[in-house]
Structure 1
């Protein structure tokens, strides 16, 4: 699978080999990791991706992606689908950036790219959540077009939906 490009970012789909290096926190020659990458969240997400690969095969394009700045190629975070799509056409997402990359709109830009990919592959609903105190993440999801759909005592829930008929034909677009 090829990289996804946004205006300022490259979303690079992790292979199982790359995910294993990330979990081991051992970059390969040529990897350009920003200070602080991978975070514990990046490692946890890559480990979940590897578990999915072992259980059901490589789920790409519904796996994990490194977020790389186009300007310098530096890996500043990751995002992806927390698991393959469900039978109902929905899929949960997660994302994170190293601290120095936050506040520049990178997370919302990357998430918009991932949402386009989901819609183009027939997904009808993408879901995300953030703790009440994590207003930055709530703003990222809202800026990417997701809307608040509920909350409980700890978490706010966001989603974006596309009509099934529109999503099914989305992969036919050029």
Structure 2
């Protein structure tokens, strides 16, 4: 195993939320700045098409949270990386810590070439599990009416359709303690 591969494995073991195929890596401020501006650093290992506008927006949201409250983790932004080689293929994150009712909302996105392979549902399922471990009572997500793939992701991750308005479809999952 070369030095970079060993570092990827060690980082995943020490900090990341792991799934079978993915490492959900909590953003550092420097990483979020790179993603927000789509400017890779010398150690960046980005898949083609990453970061898309959604991931850039999520990184900017993370940076605003850092300015307002300091590091928002564990309820901050994460980079979705392949465990096999550490490549960043997308982003996932909370829109803040639990509200007064103990609910959190999630957002996510993948580079186009990695969509349709179950990665998003795998990442969302891990975030559901993590939220449950943190004592969250309700897990929320939403998407536009025409984003059928995202609707399928949320259903595959265990969320249920709750309601809709003119712009969005809302999904939720009660997390039993």
Give 2:134's aligned residue.
Answer: 121
- CA distance, structure 2, for counterparts of residue 94 and residue 12 of structure 1: 15
| TM-score normalised per structure 1 | 0.91
Give 1:28's aligned residue.
Answer: 41
Task: Quote how far apart the aligned CAs of 1:152 are.
Answer: 1.4
2:141 aligned with 1:136: no
Task: Quote how far apart the aligned CAs of 1:154 are.
Answer: 2.3
Q: Which runs of 4+ in 1 moved over 6 A?
A: none
- CA distance, structure 1, for counterparts of residue 100 and residue 69 of structure 2: 15
Instruction: Point out the more displaced range, 22-31 or 146-155.
Output: 22-31
Alignment partner for residue 106 of structure 1, among 111, 119, 124? Answer: 119
| TM-score normalised per structure 2 | 0.89
- CA distance, structure 2, for counterparts of residue 71 and residue 77 of structure 1: 15
After superposition, the C-alpha distances for 1:23-78 in whole angstroms (9 at most, x for unaligned) are: 12222222110111111111111111111111111110100111111122211100
Aligned length: 164
* Secondary structure of residue in 2 paired with 1:85: coil
- CA distance, structure 2, for counterparts of residue 153 and residue 23 of structure 1: 29
2:23 aligned with 1:10: yes
* Secondary structure of residue in 1 paired with 2:25: strand
Give 2:60's aligned residue.
Answer: 47
